[in-house]
Amino acid sequence: MLPSEKIAVGMSTSSTKVCLPPQEDLREILRVAVEASQAGGEVLRSFLGRVTAKEKAPADLVTEADVTAQEAIIGVIRSKFPEHQIIAEELPSEAGPGGSPSNAPGSSPVVPPANISADYRWYIDPLDGTTNFFHSFPLFAVSVGVEFRGVLIAGCIFNPLTGDCFHALRGGGAWLGNRLLSTSGCTTFAESLVAIALPSRVALDSPDFRLFVAALNRCQSIRRTGCTALNLAFTAAGWLDAAWGLSCHSWDLAAGVLLVQEAGGAVGDLGRRPFSLASGRFLAAATRELLDEIYHLAEPLNLEPPSPG
């Protein structure tokens, strides 16, 4: 159920301000995002324990459940917003960074409708945590996020096993069902419970692994859950104090980043850059103070990618 309180729509957190759609339009978009997420979740429940998988890349699995859930999600969205652009994980990649096809972190498979609206983009991960799902490990989710002219405006992360429905609207807060969420308020890295998102295969000299090793003995404890969307949802709920990933995709992050922001948390990128879906990287924390400590942890490691050109 969506919150009934009146929503005061906020502006973009970026330097460029965007005039957002009317509140009633935003509410309808969020309602459809929740409906689509739950439709995908029903499909996943029906497949649990009886799936086969194939590898998209070494140790990177896809199952028939991913594809069928995605079809259900897209069907709901298309029935309400046929003109909106959809970017989804289990679809051929049409354009990655620089306009070339790519499945690299930050790249975005695109489903272009006949009469596309450049204003709205839906980011869909029909099954975040496919390896967990394949092994019946109970930590996976559906993630649906919506962007308007470059500003995240709505998002839903649905856990099909627990029925937990995390959702957020720009300027309207982050919610778990009817409960308003807020981050833990943790300000000290040494007292923090952290979750990390690592790629399927991790090189020992990669930024992902180097930051993980640097954090191991400095935070209170660290988790690798295998589900980036739930890492972000749990940070918004105050169950985790921080989460990060350096090799993610836009569909992994769109809904969860908005949840953290609307719950009062802080989200950024390496080098103290503002968060960008296109980068495939995020550093999320319960507070600005805790994010600053993560920046201090990362900076001596020189993890930032080289500047283009």
Domains and CATH numbers, the chain: 23-180 (3.30.540.10), 189-300 (3.40.190.80)
CA dihedral 52, 58, 59, 60 (to 10 degrees): -70
With a CB cutoff of 8 Å and minimum separation 6, the contacts of 84 are 77, 113, 116, 117, 120, 121, 122
Residue 101 pLDDT level (bands cut at 50, 70, 90) = very low
Q: For the chain, how big is the Rg over CA atoms in Å?
A: 18
Residue 10 pLDDT level (bands cut at 50, 70, 90) = very low
Calculate mean pLDDT across residues 3-8: 40
Which of residues 93 and 37 earns the better pLDDT score? 37
Can you say whether the dihedral through the CA atoms of 106, 232, 188, 151 is positive or negative? positive
- Confidence at residue 125, expressed as pLDDT on a 0 to 100 scale: 97
Residue 64 pLDDT level (bands cut at 50, 70, 90) = confident
Residue 110 pLDDT level (bands cut at 50, 70, 90) = low
- Confidence at residue 109, expressed as pLDDT on a 0 to 100 scale: 57
- Confidence at residue 11, expressed as pLDDT on a 0 to 100 scale: 36
Calculate mean pLDDT across residues 68-73: 96
CA dihedral 166, 75, 161, 145 (to 10 degrees): -30
Which of residues 141 and 63 earns the better pLDDT score? 141
With a CB cutoff of 8 Å and minimum separation 6, the contacts of 94 are 101, 109, 110, 112
Mean pLDDT of the chain: 87
Alpha-carbon distances, residue 257 vs 26, 82, 130, 167, 203 (angstroms): 17, 25, 20, 11, 26
For the segment 248-257, what is each residue's pLDDT rounded down to a tens digit?
Answer: 999 999 999 9
Return the number of other C-beta atoms located less than 10 Å from residue 6's C-beta: 7
46's tokens: 């029906």
- Helix, strand and coil content of the chain, in percent to the nearest 5, comes to 35, 25, 40
In sequence order, which ranges of the chain are alpha helices (DSSP H)? 23-47, 64-80, 130-134, 207-216, 228-237, 250-262, 288-298
Which of residues 64 and 87 earns the better pLDDT score? 87
Calculate mean pLDDT across residues 61-78: 90
